[in-house]
Amino acid sequence: MASRLGISSEIIVQTGNWIGALLVEAGLQGVRSVHLLGYQGKLIKLAGGIFNTSSHLADAKLEIISAAVIRCGGNVAIAAMVLDCKTADEAYHLLVSSGISELVFNCLVTLINYKAQSYVKKYANVDLVVKTTLFDRLGHLITGFE
């Protein structure tokens, strides 16, 4: 996905579930900014303060999306339908059909960026600018790329 967006392979670092540790280490190594790109079902966990994204430890992505629906002014019925989805992609497509996906996912990206920056500040005591781009399971851009 990064190469498709024209990002040089020289600056790409692939990560697994330990995104918090990666961000803290980046800050400690003097990196000034990080652009997270990835599957929305994985990165959305950061919006909930979950920085080890292994589903064995925490899998609250539907709850986080549902809370974002409410935070962004969506109604409780849609938030409840999100909770009934089987996957984050299913929830995303529900929000697309409801006409609020852009609003909700822009809110989530803003929250991911804020929480990630706060996490690095807490554990490394450095300022790291974090930007996030989310994709669906098929690699289609959801939001966040400038």
pLDDT attached to residue 12: 86
Residue with token string 């554990």: 123
Average pLDDT over residues 45-53: 94
Domain residue ranges of the chain, discontinuous segments joined by +: 16-143
Average pLDDT over residues 39-67: 91
Q: Is the pLDDT of residue 40 over 90?
A: yes
Residues 127 and 117: beta-carbon distance below 8 Å: yes
Q: What is the pLDDT of residues 87-139, one digit of tens each?
A: 999 999 999 999 999 999 999 999 999 999 999 999 999 999 999 999 998 88
pLDDT attached to residue 97: 96
Read off the pTM: 0.93
Burial string for 15-42 (b: 16+ CB within 10 Å, else e) reads: eebebbebbbebbeeeeeebbbbbbbbb
